[in-house]
Structure 1
Amino acid sequence: MDKPIGVMDSGVGGLTVAKEIMRQLPDERIIYFGDLKRCPYGDRPLKEVKEYTIEVADHLVRRGVKMIVVACNTATAAALDVLEERYDIPVIGVINPGARSAIQSSNNHDVIVLATQATVKSDAYRDAIHHINGSFRITSLACPKFVPIVEQLRYKDKVVVRVALHQTLKQLLDTSADTIILGCTHYPLLAGEIHDYFGGRKKVIDSGYETAREVSSIMTYGKTHAASGSKRNHLMIVNGDSTRFEYILRDWIPFIDYTIEEIDLEG
């Protein structure tokens, strides 16, 4: 089925998930929606995030996607259940794949979740992990400095990143947790520095890999994989100015052909 996969996020963070889908499924075409005008979602009330998420998902459905990947932890926590009931196509979030990966990776059942304030308040990761294994200890920490570093293109400034990491994570240095979930899709752009900050003693989980595997599994079951061999031009829809978005896109996924379309949604 040569319909595209819809991937949505509040900004550029979901590109970490889109990149993994492109790597694992090179024959698939992606329509990506970055809601930069209203980014970040993580500082907004969950009710407002739900409204924005439904609006963006409706836009992708009108574009004819065969599946929606909610590549934003805050949006997943706020609206995944609503989207699953709203559409007759598969809708996948990033929280359950990340939770399952952490359960598989942790040896001592002690996990740290780094996320936005809204995701932490939702307890979405705690609920997802305890639904599978209630013996896990979960420590959740909001990291409000991290998304602006990525969105403002400062993620390559080692000094800025190290200062922000230390100010945010120093309270966790002596914890026994052996696994860290990056509970925001912006955070993988800081993954190497986070890993190094803890001296390599904690495994860092990026849910993008597991999410792409789930996308593939669902399409295999439904027999909706695209035909092989075609060259794909991915469509990047940006609500707002696309300048920063395109810089990060070229830096993070330099190997793709794409078209950028700017739109203007209220909010």
Structure 2
Amino acid sequence: MKSPHIGVFDSGFGGLTVLSALLKHIPHACYTFLGDTARLPYGSKSRRTIAHYASEAAQYLVKQGAEYLVIACNTASALALDAIQDAVPVPVLGVVEPGAIAAHAASKTGDVLVIATAATVQSHAYASACHAQGLRALEKACPLLVPLVEEGWTDHPVTRQVIDVYLSELRAEAKAAGLNYDTLVLGCTHYPLIRKLLEQAVTPGVRVIDSAEATAEAAMKLFGQSDADKSDTAQVRCFATDSVEKFERLGSRFLGRPTGKVELVDLGG
């Protein structure tokens, strides 16, 4: 089987959790990861600027030989997926729709909750994607979780307390909205690192959907890859537009293995 070349893009390094899931599901591929760390956070930018930055990054990955692209960035997936698809001649997969599809498969009541960053929630991308699947979705921004994860507090009492506060508020909002929810979607690529804490904090019986895992499973189908070949011959090359030392330090935690030498690249304006 020919090893596919898959490009993975994020505005930072959180998308390495998606790459980690891809490595598990398509372990024989060649991967090129690009983190646009010089221009993050994308969430504070306009839709036009996000589309411009993300399209530049996608074109760079294709120039590096990528035959398929995974947009491992919720903001770019929510606000610029069409622009990225128009900018490159290869199949492109975002992280929002796979999460919604996985939620549909998991939910029996048709009501789901979504936690994400403020920018992703403000885009209502998950609500729209869930609605397209026939689901009712209630979204909640959880802005403190990303810095806690980046601090390395993935099993810390403070993180547990913050999760409890957010989920208590979300449960109250769901009750007020009359939702009989049974599924929680993790709409941020940082959240897989605290998935165990979230699973412990949700109401018993609620399924937790990791959009990184859902995206990797969708990629396997979309890119025509079989899970029959489980030989771990993956090659990983990482690029960043700034802060390569920080990328190497924190990125290895997100990827679950050393990132190796991260190469600095200049994408221009």
TM-score bracket, normalised by the shorter chain, equals 0.7 to 0.9
Opposite residue 76 of structure 1, the aligned amino acid is S
Give the 3 Å change call, closer, same or farther, for CA 38–86 of structure 1 in structure 2: closer
Partner of 1:180: 184
C-alpha distance in structure 2 between counterparts of 1:182 and 1:122, whole Å: 15
Q: C-alpha displacement at 1:154, in angstroms?
A: 3.0
C-alpha distance in structure 2 between counterparts of 1:73 and 1:6, whole Å: 16
Opposite residue 140 of structure 1, the aligned amino acid is E
Partner of 2:177: none
Partner of 1:169: 167
Partner of 1:160: 158
1:22-80 CA deviation, whole Å, 9 max, x = no partner?
11111101100112222332333333222221121121111111011001111001111
Secondary structure (helix, strand or coil) at the match of 1:37 reads coil
Contact 1:72 1:185 in 2 (8 A): yes
Deviates more, 1:98-107 or 1:52-61: 52-61
Give the 3 Å change call, closer, same or farther, for CA 257–132 of structure 1 in structure 2: closer
Q: C-alpha displacement at 1:195, in angstroms?
A: 1.8
Partner of 2:253: 251
Give the 3 Å change call, closer, same or farther, for CA 52–200 of structure 1 in structure 2: farther
User: Once superposed, what is the RMSD of the aligned Cα atoms?
Assistant: 2.5
2:191 is aligned with 1:190 = no
C-alpha distance in structure 1 between counterparts of 2:78 and 2:249, whole Å: 28
Contact 2:56 2:267 in 1 (8 A): no
Partner of 1:60: 61
Aligned-residue sequence identity (percent) comes to 35
Work out the number of aligned pairs and report it.
Answer: 261
Unpaired runs of at least 5, structure 1? none
Deviates more, 1:95-104 or 1:164-173: 164-173
Secondary structure (helix, strand or coil) at the match of 1:251 reads helix
C-alpha distance in structure 1 between counterparts of 2:232 and 2:109, whole Å: 45
Q: Note the 1:100-249 alignment, pairs <5 A.
A: 100-133=101-134, 136-151=135-150, 153-156=151-154, 158-174=156-172, 175=174, 176-220=180-224, 231-249=233-251
Q: Note the 1:10-49 alignment, pairs <5 A.
A: 10-49=11-50
Partner of 1:81: 82
Give the 3 Å change call, closer, same or farther, for CA 210–230 of structure 1 in structure 2: closer
Q: C-alpha displacement at 1:254, in angstroms?
A: 4.3
Contact 2:247 2:262 in 1 (8 A): no
What is the TM-score when the length of structure 1 is the normalising length?
A: 0.87
Give the 3 Å change call, closer, same or farther, for CA 141–228 of structure 1 in structure 2: closer
Contact 2:112 2:138 in 1 (8 A): yes
Q: C-alpha displacement at 1:99, in angstroms?
A: 0.3
Contact 2:167 2:202 in 1 (8 A): no
What is the TM-score when the length of structure 2 is the normalising length?
A: 0.86
Secondary structure (helix, strand or coil) at the match of 1:11 reads coil
Secondary structure (helix, strand or coil) at the match of 1:42 reads helix
Opposite residue 214 of structure 1, the aligned amino acid is A
C-alpha distance in structure 2 between counterparts of 1:43 and 1:70, whole Å: 18
